[in-house]
């Protein structure tokens, strides 16, 4: 059984590989360093907008983390329509109807 690293772990790994600080990465993706830090340390739940900014900043396809996002931020967290609704709209925009199911 393969263990999939969390989105946070993937971000942290990327920052180390690229030699970027959270501040530098925050400037690249246009997010406050406190937000980036909160996401990486697990003190903040990712919004789909933040996930999209991070994914673009990591030069990955826009929907790269969507399946993990479902597991980590929708299934494992308390249901929150303000988080789920933008994710559903974004899935439709990107043609990821499999994620809507």
Q: What is the tens place of the pLDDT at every residue in 31-73?
A: 999 999 999 998 888 999 999 999 999 999 999 999 999 888 8
Angle between helices 33-41 and 48-57 (to 10 degrees): 100
Tokens at residue 21, please?
Answer: 């600080």
Residue with token string 């990486």: 40
The ranges assigned to domains in the chain are 7-100
Give the CATH fold of the 7-100 domain.
434 Repressor (Amino-terminal Domain) (1.10.260)
Name the CA dihedral angle for 53, 57, 61, 65, rounded to a multiple of 10 degrees. -60
| Cα 65 from Cα 70, distance rounded (Å) | 9
Q: Which residues contact 53 (CB under 8 A, 6 or more apart)?
A: 29, 30, 31
Q: What is the tens place of the pLDDT at every residue in 1-14?
A: 556 789 999 999 99
């Amino acid at each position: 059984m393969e263990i999939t690293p969390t989105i946070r772990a993937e971000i942290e790994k990327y920052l180390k590989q690229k030699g970027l600080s959270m501040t530098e990465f925050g400037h690249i993706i246009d997010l406050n360093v406190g937000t980036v830090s909160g996401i990486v340390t697990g003190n903040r739940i990712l919004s789909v907008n933040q996930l999209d900014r991070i994914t673009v900043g990591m030069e990955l396809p826009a929907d790269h983390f969507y399946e993990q996002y479902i597991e980590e931020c929708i299934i494992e967290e308390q249901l929150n329509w303000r988080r789920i609704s933008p994710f559903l709209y974004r899935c439709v925009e990107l043609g990821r109807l499999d994620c809507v199911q």
